[in-house]
Amino acid sequence: MPKGMPNKKYTGEFKQMVIETMRNEGLSYRETAGRFEINDHHRVMSWERIYIEEGPEGLYVERRGRSSKGGGRPPKQLKPEVEEDLIAEVQRLRAENAYLKN
């Protein structure tokens, strides 16, 4: 991008439309970027990653600049059965550590 040109800012609605069109029509990242006049296909890749990990609402979050120390993305929610397995494993390891200390 030439010096002095501001970066293009895309709305959450636009990002969601781009990703859903790409997925529905089976377009590649490059084809999608060309069709919607997006300069870099990597931007489409990152939008799709966000869409898959956080859902469509993740595309509406402003991500420019440095994140604050306490802020950032909300923690990723685990499935209840995975969380239960992790809690059980932590309890087992704590009991094992307590036994080994004695």
Residue 74 predicted with pLDDT over 90: no
Burial class, 33, CB count within 10 angstroms (exposed 0-12 / middle 13-18 / buried 19+): buried
Q: How confident is the model at residue 91, as a pLDDT?
A: 94
Range of the domain at 32: 12-64+77-101
Is 70 a domain residue? no
Identify residue 42 by its one-letter amino acid code.
H
Is 1 a domain residue? no
Q: How confident is the model at residue 3, as a pLDDT?
A: 64
Is 7 a domain residue? no
0.85 exceeded by pTM: no
Answer for the pair 18, 48: CB distance below 8 angstroms, yes or no. no
Mean pLDDT calculated for residue range 20-48: 94
Query: What domain count does the chain have?
Result: 1
Q: pLDDT class for 72, splitting at 50, 70, 90?
A: low
Is 4 a domain residue? no
Residue 99 predicted with pLDDT over 60: yes
